[in-house]
Amino acid sequence: EVQLVESGGGLVQPGESLRLSCAASGFIFTDYWMTWVRQAPGKGLEWVANIKEDGTMKKYVDSVNGRFTISRDNAKNSLYLQMNSLRAEDTAVYYCARTYEYGYDYWGQGTLVTVSS
């Protein structure tokens, strides 16, 4: 059974950092790109970043480029999102998703990040 479990969310102050993790199981992790998608409270979905199977290619939405870093550890079947210089507008539930070229077939339950003073 495919499982994606996010962790690492919490309450931080503006300007602080946070590292999200996504533990993958039930599939061959190295066969898939992976993606982070976020959803602000009561709002729609926003694509954040994705990473190639071997970690050599990464793409970001402009609003996080230079502040967030997506990475993966294929030995640990884990995906990460290092978030620096956090802003109030980064407050959201962050989902990791298994990625095909046409979309995302499995999603985690999400982890909530709240940026507030």
The answer to whether 113 and 10 are in contact (CB under 8 A) is: yes
Question: In the complex with another protein, which residue's Cβ is closer, 32 or 104?
Answer: 104
Range 104-107, long-range pairs (CB < 8 A, 24+ positions):
104/35, 104/37, 106/2, 106/4, 106/27, 107/4, 107/37
> Shortest approach of another protein to residue 106 CB, angstroms?
9
Question: In the complex with another protein, which residue's Cβ is closer, 84 or 110?
Answer: 110
Question: In the complex with another protein, which residue's Cβ is closer, 103 or 117?
Answer: 103
**What residues line the site for another protein (CB under 8 A)?**
35, 37, 44-47, 50, 59-62, 95, 97, 100-105, 107-110
